[in-house]
Amino acid sequence: MAEEVKSIQLYEDVVGPAVLNQLRQLAGNLEGLKVIHVNSTKTGGGVAEILSWMIPFMRELGIDASWEVIGGNKPFFHTTKLFHNGLQGNQVNLAPHHIQAYEETNRQNADRLRDKLEDADIVFIHDPQPAMLLQLCPNRRGKWIWRCHIDASQPFRPVWKYLRPHFESYDASIFSMAEFTRALPHPQFLVAPSIDPLSLKNVDLPQSEIENTCRQFDLDPDKPILTQVSRFDRFKDPLGVIYGYRLIKKSCQAQLVLAGGGADDDPEGAEVLREVKEAAMDDPDIHILLLPPDAHRTINALQRASDIIIQKSTREGFGLTVTEGLWKGKPVIGGHVGGIILQVINHHTGFLVNSPEGMAQRIRYLFNHREIIDSMGEKGKEFVRENFLLTRHLREYLTLMVGLRRGFADRLIAAA
Amino acid sequence: MKDEVISKNSQENMVDVTPFAIKDCALIVRICDLLPAINLRELHERVANCPVDSLYHHFCETAIRPSFDDPEFHNDFARWARRALHDHVLAERLEILHPYSFPHMEELRKEILDIIADRLSEIHYIPWALHDQAFFFKQATTVVFDTNRIIETPEHLCDAVKEMSTSSLYYHFWEARRRTPEKIDDFSFWLKGWNDRGKPLIDAFSRIDFYFMSLKELQDKLCTVMEEVGKTWRKK
């Protein structure tokens, strides 16, 4: 089911009128500004989700915003997956033909987009896939910002050495956390991502729909549900989750849901999915769900049906699935990595863990203290309301754009 | 430049007892041009050299940036000492620092440096953090904007504060102390122009230990205080 475009006004009930007023006041400084976001996929993954609400909102606020998706063939996406893994620290084999596929695809896209990009006031390039476009647009008149959504703090050196020159010429970059940054010769801003509370994935659902979804996937209503929602990706450690679940199962009744899908730019997912199915060994209480990219409402229902949300990543960007789980009032057991650390506060919104054993121990603790599950859930939801909804995210982009227009030399800028 | 603009605005609020113009602010945070610190000695060296705006960010803007609302620590240095260096003593000594009790941020810098140097002299090793837990020095640009809302009289202040965003409250109650000549909050600055009508509120506001509250707690506290003072107004 496709996400419908919503008006910002609808969010007043969730965040209050003052927050919307902030956005309008800030955007008043940016009226008519030509802003273009460029990424590599229209569906699947956190970036596409963010852009699918951010562009209409910017337009509603009077900014001339648009979204361009670069096209590419299989070798290109295979290469950018290598980049993705390499930036996150995995050793990868980067061969000349990979570089050729990357550069050729960027050149083709530059030919298609050059006029538009060169004419924009601000261009946001998301992740490494389209990063080469900057040097292919020599007559650009606006500011170009590289938006890195992944943890690039300890990249595999050959990948970084190749990509770094592509990033260096940008006017600024944005990272989700300070810990994800690499030294670059331009200002590096920090903007945490967010979720849309009214999207199909996060909107309140009737109980009957949640129950129907459970029936659809043969989930037993009498057994607690543990759910990890993520791509089938090694960094999400689905095998570790299954191992941890087996430790719990020795003493507690529970079901495990591993729900995920592939993204257009992730060819590795099928291989990981096969490994996960093997590890599950036909256990009827392990539900491996390969969902289409538009199964947002299904994911929403699965999260709401869950007792505890798991995100046991070993490397993570920000971890929007954690934010989604917290928003649904569920405690989260998360890997002690990346942006999960910002969201999972031990004993308040969930627990950070470093091993399958840690995951099992914390889940058993919560199963034996049901009242804590509820209190953590309440705290987590308010935490997200204050910090990780799209209105805060949009406000920071608008603030950044005001700064880009007026200059960051003076620390404080009095807006009109 | 903005300091001047804002100070002038605050002065205007006071001199003519003109309505109080409610402003709001938003931050965009960036990494300072300093290498992250990985051990206590490096932290000392970086604190000595970081921009004063960075100290302000790590001590004061913690209230407004995305973070858990019930923090164990109110400044980033104390938090890092505890979580990354596992030095509980140092964390406690840094946590008790109240940045607004210093006449200016340079004095705060000296105090932090003293505390770290003292600690380094007490222990026989240099506490260090794991490579992925380095301390990153940050600073923020604050964009200030009008809300197009005003407060006419002190009696309207309570309702206005109830409806304020937390960032607006931060701007008028916390950040004001950095830019107003008397280093007081904007409400008190404005209330001074109301002489006897403003004085009970000014006195009550000055007794609030705001630094160790979240902005939501501060909002509730201000409203409680104003409702109590309001009762005395009505009796008169």
Q: Tally the C-alpha atoms within 13 A of residue A226's C-alpha that lie toward its C-beta.
A: 28
| B181 Cβ contact list (under 8 Å, min separation 6) | B7
Q: Which of B143, B142, B134, B139 is nearest to B30 (CA)?
A: B139
Residue B175 DSSP one-character state: I
Minimal-distance CA residue of chain A relative to B70: A348
Class (C level, CATH) for A8-194+389-406: alpha beta
Nearest CB neighbour to A187, from listed B26, B30, B136: B30
Residue of higher predicted confidence among A330 and A235: A330
Residue B52, Cβ density class (10 Å: 0-12 exposed, 13-18 middle, ≥19 buried): middle
Residue A249 above 60 pLDDT?
Answer: yes
Strand order in the sheet with A255-260: A286-290, A255-260, A225-229, A308-311, A332-335, A350-353
| A156, A86 contact by CB (below 8 A) | yes
Per CATH, A8-194+389-406 and A207-387 having the same topology is answered yes
Measured CA angle at A228 (ends A224, A229), to 5 deg = 130
- What is the band of B234 on the pLDDT scale with cuts at 50, 70, 90? low
Torsions phi, psi of B100, nearest 5?
Answer: -80, -5
Rg (CA), chain B: 20
Measured CA angle at A294 (ends A149, A283), to 5 deg = 95
Inter-chain CB proximity B142 and A412 less than 8 Å:
yes
- What is the band of B12 on the pLDDT scale with cuts at 50, 70, 90? very low
| Residue written as token pair 């863990």 | A353
How far is it, in rounded angstroms, from Cα A102 to Cα A139? 22
| B21, B150 contact by CB (below 8 A) | yes
pLDDT of res. A264: 56
Q: Which of A132, A193, A143 is nearest to A390 (CA)?
A: A193
> pLDDT tens digit string along A332-375?
999 998 889 889 999 999 999 999 999 999 999 999 999 999 99
Helices (H), A265-389: 269-280, 296-305, 320-327, 340-343, 356-367, 370-387
Dump the DSSP string for B109-139. HHHHHHHHHHHHHHSSS--B--GGGPBPPEE
Inter-chain CB proximity A415 and B144 less than 8 Å:
yes
> pLDDT tens digit string along A38-91?
999 988 777 888 898 899 999 999 999 999 999 999 999 999 999 999 998 889
Give me the residue spans of the domains in chain B: 2-16+149-235, 28-138
pLDDT of res. A88: 86
Q: Which of A56, A37, A52 is nearest to A133 (CA)?
A: A37
pLDDT of res. B8: 39
Give me the residue spans of the domains in chain A: 8-194+389-406, 207-387
A35-39, A270-274, A306-310 — which is least confidently predicted?
Answer: A270-274
> pLDDT tens digit string along B111-133?
999 999 999 999 999 999 998 88
Residue of higher predicted confidence among B6 and A411: A411
A22 CB neighbours in chain B (<8 A) are 24, 26, 145, 165, 167
As a three-state string, the secondary structure of B184-229 is CCHHHHHHHHHHHHHHHHHHHHHCCCHHHCCHHHHHHHHHHHHHHH
Residue A409 above 90 pLDDT?
Answer: no
pLDDT of res. B15: 44
Residue of higher predicted confidence among B23 and B71: B23
ipTM greater than 0.90 = no
Residue A413 above 70 pLDDT?
Answer: no
Nearest CB neighbour to A399, from listed B26, B68, B148: B26
Rg (CA), chain A: 21
pLDDT of res. B180: 83
Residue A149, Cβ density class (10 Å: 0-12 exposed, 13-18 middle, ≥19 buried): buried
> pLDDT tens digit string along A167-201?
999 999 999 989 888 889 999 999 998 999 999 99
Minimal-distance CA residue of chain B relative to A349: B68
Q: What percent of chain A lies above the pLDDT cut of 90? A: 74
Pick among A29, A412, A413 to test the B interface (most B CBs inside 10 A): A412
Pick among B61, B68, B72, B130 to test the A interface (most A CBs inside 10 A): B68
How far is it, in rounded angstroms, from Cα A221 to Cα A223? 6
Residue A416 above 70 pLDDT?
Answer: no
What is the CATH topology of the domain spanning A207-387? Rossmann fold (3.40.50)
pLDDT of res. A379: 93
Inter-chain CB proximity A403 and B66 less than 8 Å:
no
Minimal-distance CA residue of chain A relative to B4: A414
Inter-chain CB proximity A153 and B165 less than 8 Å:
no
User: What's the mean pLDDT in A252-258?
Assistant: 95
pLDDT of res. A414: 47
Give the strand pairing for A412-414 and A286-290.
unpaired
What type of residue sits at position A47?
A: V
| Residue written as token pair 């061969």 | A95
Q: Give the torsion sign (CA, A202, A208, A214, A216).
A: negative
> pLDDT tens digit string along A306-340?
999 999 999 887 888 999 999 999 999 999 988 89
The mean pLDDT value of chain A amounts to 92
| A416, A43 contact by CB (below 8 A) | no
